[in-house]
Structure 1
């Protein structure tokens, strides 16, 4: 259900992008994305129909105004594909670990393959156009070394004084990149939403993303790793929303859930105590922000109920 919801929402964004893209190479990729997304949606709906499972309402062409002016530039549309791949590829990998039906396993395997090929194309095109920020470089070690088991060295390794290792640097860079793209997305949505409560919620999200960038950038600079600002992907000056309020609120709430998972991954491989403290604090803030978004969706009657098991406690009541 979650998969079809996400595909419905991104299809609306891609259809909007297609109306105004000027770069033919980027347009070609977006056209391919739309075909892939619609194929996946069709296959999911077929599976639901065979199982007599109600097809979620999700989002449709009613949630996107194709006559609205362009809200984002061509470079952002390309980045949208690239960022989407970073999220969905590991998602499919996790799903495959849990699937026991062979037909469903094959379906998700096909999805993962097509998404991986698409992500490669987006990455290649971003590199060719100079739109890709690279993580800080490091010199290769000359030999394999082991950490000596001495209390002082162990404390240093797990403490705050040790220089960042490559895994920690990579996660900090990715978090900065993810939040930078999130800010661009939010800037456009803040610009066009007419709902004051949703606008205030998005403004709060933008401040939270900026806080994360400042925190992670400071940690990198303290260790003499300067990545600079991510390549800007501009928002146009349009104030006409191409998307329904329900769609844009769902998009940010869904992105927030992705952020929690990404922060959890970063926390799991960070061995410095100060990094763990920063990640733990930010996870709590992001979770609180996500709860506020879910509350807004529910209050407006925009949240479909996920499938629920039978509540047998109801049978036990007299």
Structure 2
């Protein structure tokens, strides 16, 4: 196995996981330092331990391969003397949100790799994410903060689409949303609520005016999506998803560096791009796919703005890249 070099897909999976886990560990350390709820404390401890184990394993693998270890994030980006910025309930929802993202991203990574030791690592990360997801959902249910997706009656029989009007979204009578579309709408709402709460806290503690403006734009974009998708549900005579109680404290002292804040927000909007792209692919009602496409364009533009800020400040760590053959050949 030592004679088999890492492929580009294995490098990208390990590199991205290292960077993201270093950032996530900073948040988990902040949550764990302040948590009071005896039921939430163990799951935060477990999530933190898992993140730190990923960082250690990837660092050792990179060192064995004589591969440069990313700078990423560390305790230098964390101020544990700052008061809690979020309540314990938000800390729990953070574990839930990150485990959901982990299940999606680790599954994709696992399907793109072939070296056995790397496959073993991502098989473990998938299992750990699944366990954290299960525990966080069960705890959120017991705390009354998990908003279940809409329920629909079971169909009485198997049916097939008979008319192209099934795709209608602008003209004629709209068909009801199907179960697949309802799923996409629900989780887009949930993802944006998570983002609004995160950004509310970060806006309270960010002093840099350019970053504050960027965060406010992100919050407004998330709120706009929540309103649009909730209205879609209400128009179908379905209850819209409602936010849980505000889970942000009144602290104005930042626990995180501006670099970490920008990276975290940009990462969440990258996940949003993936989610919206998937939603477009599986939604067949034209008005829904058009609305999703509109927001995908807006989120892409917002992400570009964030990347520009990070580049200007020297905060964007460059992923490993292929050599420039034309430059090497002087052509």
* CA deviation after TM superposition for structure 1 residue 197, in Å: 0.2
RMSD between superposed Cα atoms in Å: 0.9
**Alignment of structure 1 residues 140-219 onto 2, 5 Å:** 140-148=154-162, 153-154=163-164, 156-160=165-169, 161-219=174-232
Per-residue CA deviations over 1:120-171 (Å, capped at 9, x if unaligned) read 10111001111100111111111111222xxxx21x2111211100110111
The alignment covers a number of residue pairs equal to 313
Deviation at 1:82, TM superposition (A): 0.4
Structure-1 separation of matches of 2:324 and 2:66:
21
* 1:11 matched to 2:31: no
Question: How far apart, in 1, do the equivalents of 2:24 and 2:140 lie?
Answer: 20
1-structure distance, mates of 2:291, 2:21: 32
* Alignment correspondent of 1:102: 116
Gapped runs of 5+ residues in structure 2? 1-14
For residues 244 and 268 of structure 1, the distance between their equivalents in structure 2, rounded to whole angstroms, comes to: 37
Native 8 Å contact 1:12 1:60 kept in 2: yes
Q: Name segments (4+ residues, structure 1) moved above 3 Å.
A: none
The answer on whether the counterparts of 2:25 and 2:48 sit within 8 Å (CA) in structure 1 is yes
Note if contact 1:158-1:273 (Cα within 8 Å) is conserved in structure 2: yes
Match of 1:247 among 242, 245, 260: 260
Contact kept, 8 Å, 1:135 with 1:227, in 2: the verdict is no
Query: Post-superposition shift, 1:38?
Result: 0.5
SS in 1 for 2:207: coil
* Separation in 2, partners of 1:146, 1:308: 47
**Structure 2 partner of 1:268:** 281
Describe the SS at the equivalent of 1:24.
Answer: coil
In the superposition, the TM-score normalised over structure 1's length comes to 0.97
Residue-by-residue CA offset, 1:278-298 (whole Å, 9 max, x unaligned): 011100000000000000000
Alignment TM-score, normalising by the size of structure 2 = 0.93
C-alpha deviation, 1:230, in angstroms: 2.4
Name whichever of 124-133 and 139-148 sits farther off.
139-148
Distance 2:208 2:146 in 1: 34
Give the Cα separation in 1 of the matches to 2:74 and 2:121: 23
Q: Per-residue CA shift, 1:42-99, capped at 9, x if unaligned?
A: 0000110011000000000010101100000000000000011111111111111110
Aligned match of 1:54: 68
Report the 3-state secondary structure (helix = DSSP H, G, I; strand = E; otherwise coil) of the residue aligned with 2:39.
Answer: helix
1:279 aligned to 292, 304, 311, which one?
Answer: 292
Q: How far off is 1:315 after superposition?
A: 2.2
Q: What residue is the counterpart of 1:300 in the other structure?
A: 313
- The answer for the alignment partner of 1:238 in structure 2 is 251
Query: Tell me, what secondary structure is at the counterpart of 2:137?
Result: helix
Question: 2:84 maps to which residue?
Answer: 70
